[in-house]
Amino acid sequence: MSRRETERQQSEYVQLMRSMFDFLLTSGMEVKAIRRVVERALTEEGARSRESPRRGDFGLATAGRVLDRWHRSRNYTTERAVPRAIPLLGRAPSVEALVRSENARVESAEFARRLKSLGFLIRAAGGRYKPAARIAVVAGLNPLIQEYVARSSSTLLQTIRHNISRPRSSQKLIERFAEVPDLPAECETAFRRFSTEQGWAMLDRMNDWLESRRAQRTTRRVGRTVRAGVHLYAYVDGRKRRKRDNAGITASD
């Protein structure tokens, strides 16, 4: 892992911790109390943390943009809009060139190799590669997931902090959830399917809107830029609940 990668990974974690501390302090928690909570958490999770892999930050967001561009760009698709098989390294068209076009700050060749090792790419004829899927989905604890957890957690806290500091609704960002406490267990599979279908439909539209407005995609002069997006996830509490009594109160609550 290079020094630059190490510094970037640490920067993500520092931002996560700053966001958490800012939220706790704003909520009225004292510094001494926060320090006790942190020390307790480190004590309880210290062994697991030492066993976790400490590798470089390779950017799940960048991986997602690379795969999306591969499916959109005319230079990387066939006449039927199917992603072309391309070399892993080298000048465009290649996976390395795709990476460089999406994020000039990473080591593009190493990033391309990591995409292959994590299963984002499948081997095609002639030593070339195609995307395994249009979306970046990874399993297990690896550098992409480590960054994803840190970035997602700090972004959520920043959004909440932003919203509570803005007096007008027009200045706030969307941050809502839909939940019921008593979905029948037999509906869980249907919920997973429905939430996935609806979520991807929304994210596809959002991604189209964002991609069409990216600074590097336009010919007009662009000034300041910001990181913007939508994070969507579903959740199911796997803990078993008892049946409700006649008063409608869960016995285990």
Residues 127-174: pLDDT tens digits? Answer: 999 988 766 665 555 566 666 777 778 788 888 888 888 888 888 888
Residue 171 lies in a domain: no
In the prediction, which pLDDT does 90 show? 92
Let me know: does 38 contact 175? Beta carbons within 8 Å. no
Same-domain status, 37 and 51: yes
Q: Please write the tens of the pLDDT for every residue from 187-205.
A: 999 999 999 899 988 988 9
Question: Is 189 found in the same domain as 121?
Answer: no
Going by the DSSP 8-state scheme, the letter that residue 230 receives in this structure is: -
Q: Which residue has the tokens 């690379």?
A: 66
Q: Are residues 185 and 248 in the same domain?
A: yes
State the pLDDT at residue 190: 95
In the three-class reduction of DSSP (H, G, I as helix; E, B as strand; rest coil), residue 83 is classed as strand
**Do 150 and 181 belong to one domain?**
no
Q: What is the pLDDT of residue 175?
A: 84
Question: Which 8-state DSSP code applies to residue 80?
Answer: T
Coil/strand/helix, residue 213: coil
- Give one word for 127, left, alpha or beta, with left for phi > 0 and alpha for psi -120 to 50: left
36 lies in the same domain as 151: yes
Using CA atoms, how far residue 160 sits from 155, 156, 163, 233, in Å, is 9, 6, 5, 16
How far is the C-alpha of 87 from the C-alpha of 102, rounded, in Å? 17
C-alpha closest to that of 134 among 66, 211, 231: 66
- Residues 153 and 251 grouped into a single domain: no
Query: 196 and 236 in one domain?
Result: yes
Residues 82 and 198 placed together within one structural domain of the fold:
no
Q: Is residue 170 part of a domain?
A: no
Let me know whether 98 and 213 are in one domain. no
- Residue 47 domain boundaries: 3-55+142-160
Please answer whether residues 147 and 9 qualify as being in contact, where contact means their C-beta atoms are separated by less than 8 angstroms.
yes
Residue 165 in any domain: the answer is no
What is d(CA 83, CA 122) in angstroms, rounded to the nearest whole number? 12
In a domain, residue 201? The reply is: yes
Question: Is the domain of 72 the same as that of 116?
Answer: yes
Q: Name the domain count of the chain.
A: 3
Q: Is residue 188 one of the residues assigned to a domain?
A: yes
User: Same structural domain for residues 49 and 114?
Assistant: no
Mean local confidence (pLDDT), 65-80: 87
Stretch 24-47: mean pLDDT, rounded?
A: 81
pLDDT the model gives residue 69: 86
- State whether 115 and 46 are in the same domain: no
